[in-house]
Amino acid sequence: MKHVGVLYRISLSAVVVLLVAGAAFAQTKSAKIDALVQQYVASRQFNGAVLVADKGQVIFKKGYGMANMEWNIPNAPDTKFRLGSITKQFTAMLIMQLVEKGKLKPAGKITDYLPDYPKATGDKITIHHLLTHTSGIPNYTSFPKFFETQSREPVTPEGFTKLFADKPLDFEPGTKFSYSNSGYFLLGVIIEKVTGKPYAEVLNENILVPAQMTNSGYDLFGPIIPKRATGYEKKGNTYVNSPYLDMSIPYAAGSMYSTVEDLYRWDQILYTDKLLSASGKATMYTPFLDGYAYGWGVGKVKIGQVKDSLLLIEHSGGINGFNTIISRLPKDKQLVVLLNNTGGAPLGDMRKNILRILFDQPVEAPKKPITDLLRQSVLSDPLDKTKQKFSAWKADKAYAVSENEINALGYELMREGKDKEALVVFNLNADTYPESYNVYDSRGELHKKMADKAAAIQDYKRSVALNPRNTNGFLMLKELGESVEVPKQEGVVVDKTTLESYVGEYQLAPSFSIVITREGDKLYGQATGQSRFELFPESKTKFYLKVVDAQVTFSSNDKGEVEQLVLHQNGQNLPGKRIR
């Protein structure tokens, strides 16, 4: 008995040591995460709340900056933020719950549940198509001047569907991926039709109450919601209130609010079968086109020098004055939640660095945005001086050069009536990204506003030449009096020898490659952690994707050997060196 007691005391001591060591380990990671986020805060790139969990336990949560700048009310872990498109995963869960109850079928058509919906399209679009953004229904938030003219007025769910229900489909359902808020708006209408209850009530009864998410809900302007953050946007070196948006418009596609703490509760209940069966969740997490499942993006991620890629389930959101992200790594129940209320925060980069900390990998130093400096220079310096400074900033690795952010600065100056300054910014962007169709489309809009018809036509022609699927460019050319037609690219044929010369692996980043393969007279690509996609020829060297709005260009060296591809997507041109 004496020996047993000694053994017990030794074991207990060991357990205490292990617990202390574990706490210190978590504390070290917590301190590193805090130091990292503080760098983004210092450069005015983040203002919000953060929560990080490892092995299912919260190791870090903290608020940064202000929830309300007028009253100096700080952000905290229980501050309520608008989620934007993170709402879609909740809508998908409600749909899957109705599927398990036998009230919906993934293969069911829109018209099975909404008999008044136009049959020409409603008879062939399924619930599955809506969930996976493969319906072909035009995205209402992309309609011309939607936010300027239609986003402030309250709508009813069924009434609002008329805005897009009669429009032609962008493509045949199931053949392409194209992100569509319209599809998830329709899912909300279907939920109401099937249950006979308002979407917000169904959401509360079937998810929020069971998950004990007491600080989450459907956001509306009228009700008093304690600790609700105000949304802001950058304007030069300061912030302004974000434009008003009636929250009946995002609806089931983006109208929720929540806290980082409540999203942790959401994450935890997803590891149980309380809301949905294991088989139902397996269906929900199965990616279709472009790695998109039911309300979640699903794929593999490589973290630093960690040997194996890990399954990552995540979704981001963006809505006036807010941007958000929730990232889940199920293997070790890791979670990163970032909620920001100043819009435009680099949450993807922040999430990547936080995961590096969790896996003891070196972080990539956050870069300072170049746009604040550029705005100040373009408003105060001579043109030559601005160009000189811009070149120096681009060469300095401490600064981040982003086509999208520079473009946004140009539009910001346009809205302020500073057209000459905006033109300088758009010119610099075009010089920096000469192969991006979007920079010419944007500059064309400014030239059109400035009544420089010839320059506008020239820019729009350049834009559609770079991207023949830029329908806005063709519409603007027609509006400017040009006789143009969208070119048909389906007839382009590339010989098998040329296609075979493109076969190989092209590395765009240390952990991201595109593998090109050929089957007969067809070329395919597969990006790291994503599904295979077909490449369709626009010319002998340039191909386009149908699953997303992107293009790939192949280039050869002086010997005629293919040595690189460039991925053109979201206004960026990402070169990939051939490594095999």
Half-sphere exposure of 575 (CA within 13 A, CB side): 8
Same domain flag for 221 and 289:
yes
245 lies in a domain? yes
Same domain flag for 253 and 138:
yes
Q: Where do we find the tokens 């045949």?
A: 172
Please name the helix (run of DSSP H) or strand (run of DSSP E) that holds residue 566, with its range, or none.
strand 562-569
Same domain flag for 414 and 460:
yes
61 lies in a domain? no
* Domain limits for position 452: 368-479
Which pLDDT does position 569 carry in this prediction? 73
Domain end (from 331, 358, 385): 358
DSSP secondary structure, 85-150, as one string: GGHHHHHHHHHHHHHHTTS--TT-BHHHH-TTS-HHHHTT-BHHHHHTT-S----GGGSTTHHHHT
pLDDT in tens, 468-488: 767 778 888 988 998 876 554
DSSP secondary structure, 8-32, as one string: HHHHHHHHHHHHHHHHHHHHHHHHH
Whether the per-residue pLDDT at 20 is higher than 70: the answer is: no
Whether the per-residue pLDDT at 74 is higher than 70: the answer is: yes
The residue ranking higher by pLDDT, 5 or 123, is 123
Mean pLDDT in residue range 434-441: 91
Answer yes or no: are the C-beta atoms of 213 and 265 closer than 8 Å: yes
500 lies in a domain? yes
> In the chain, count of helices (H) and strands (E)?
21, 23
At 531, which CATH number? 2.40.128.50
Whether the per-residue pLDDT at 215 is higher than 80: the answer is: yes
Same domain flag for 401 and 514:
no
Confidence of residue 548 (pLDDT cuts 50, 70, 90): low
Whether the per-residue pLDDT at 571 is higher than 60: the answer is: no
pLDDT in tens, 339-367: 999 988 999 999 999 999 999 999 988 88
For the chain, the C-alpha Rg in angstroms (whole number) is: 25
Same domain flag for 160 and 256:
yes
The residue ranking higher by pLDDT, 486 or 457, is 457
Confidence of residue 150 (pLDDT cuts 50, 70, 90): confident
Residue 445: strand, helix, or coil: helix
Q: Where do we find the tokens 């709005």?
A: 549
Q: Where do we find the tokens 């319906």?
A: 135
If one counts the domains in the chain, the total is: 3
The whole-angstrom separation of Cα 439 and Cα 430 is 6
Confidence of residue 3 (pLDDT cuts 50, 70, 90): very low
Whether the per-residue pLDDT at 558 is higher than 80: the answer is: no
Mean pLDDT in residue range 121-147: 91
13 lies in a domain? no
Please name the helix (run of DSSP H) or strand (run of DSSP E) that holds residue 544, with its range, or none.
strand 542-545
Same domain flag for 394 and 280:
no
Directed axis angle between helix 419-432 and helix 371-380, to 10°? 130
Q: What 8-state DSSP symbol labels residue 332?
A: G
Which pLDDT does position 249 carry in this prediction? 93
Whether the per-residue pLDDT at 314 is higher than 50: the answer is: yes
Sign (positive or negative) of CA dihedral 239, 244, 246, 251: negative
5 lies in a domain? no
Which pLDDT does position 451 carry in this prediction? 95
Mean pLDDT in residue range 27-55: 94
343 lies in a domain? yes
Which pLDDT does position 12 carry in this prediction? 34
pLDDT in tens, 270-311: 999 999 999 999 999 999 998 999 999 999 999 988 988 999
Domain end (from 412, 445, 479): 479
As given in the structure block, the two tokens for residue 204 are 């509360």
Task: Report the mean per-residue pLDDT for the chain.
Answer: 88
Confidence of residue 550 (pLDDT cuts 50, 70, 90): confident
Which pLDDT does position 100 carry in this prediction? 97
Mean pLDDT in residue range 512-541: 83
103 lies in a domain? yes
Mean pLDDT in residue range 46-65: 97
The residue ranking higher by pLDDT, 10 or 559, is 559
Residue spans of alpha helices (H) in 308-397? 347-358, 371-380, 383-395
Confidence of residue 151 (pLDDT cuts 50, 70, 90): confident
Whether the per-residue pLDDT at 437 is higher than 70: the answer is: yes
Same domain flag for 565 and 468:
no
Same domain flag for 153 and 261:
yes
> From residue 31, how far is each of 170, 273, 347, 576 by CA, in Å?
48, 34, 19, 36
Directed axis angle between helix 453-466 and helix 471-479, to 10°? 150
Whole-model pTM? 0.74
Mean pLDDT in residue range 403-412: 87
Please name the helix (run of DSSP H) or strand (run of DSSP E) that holds residue 508, with its range, or none.
strand 504-509
At 406, which CATH number? 1.25.40.10
Confidence of residue 17 (pLDDT cuts 50, 70, 90): very low
Which pLDDT does position 430 carry in this prediction? 94
470 lies in a domain? yes
DSSP secondary structure, 23-82, as one string: HHHHHHHHHHHHHHHHHHHHTT---EEEEEEETTEEEEEEE-SEEETTTTEEP-TT-BEE
Whether the per-residue pLDDT at 263 is higher than 60: the answer is: yes
Answer yes or no: are the C-beta atoms of 52 and 60 closer than 8 Å: yes
The whole-angstrom separation of Cα 414 and Cα 378 is 13
Same domain flag for 504 and 473:
no
Same domain flag for 408 and 333:
no
Same domain flag for 218 and 293:
yes
As given in the structure block, the two tokens for residue 551 are 């293009």
Q: Which residues of 138-169 are buried (b: 16+ CB within 10 A; e: fewer)?
A: bbbbeeeeeeeebbeeebebeebbebbbeeee
The whole-angstrom separation of Cα 62 and Cα 75 is 8
Which pLDDT does position 323 carry in this prediction? 94
Backbone angles phi, psi at 386, to 5 degrees: -60, -45
Domain end (from 454, 479, 504): 479
* Residue 344 region by backbone torsions, left for phi larger than 0, else alpha for psi between -120 and 50, else beta: left
Which pLDDT does position 19 carry in this prediction? 36
Same domain flag for 224 and 349:
yes
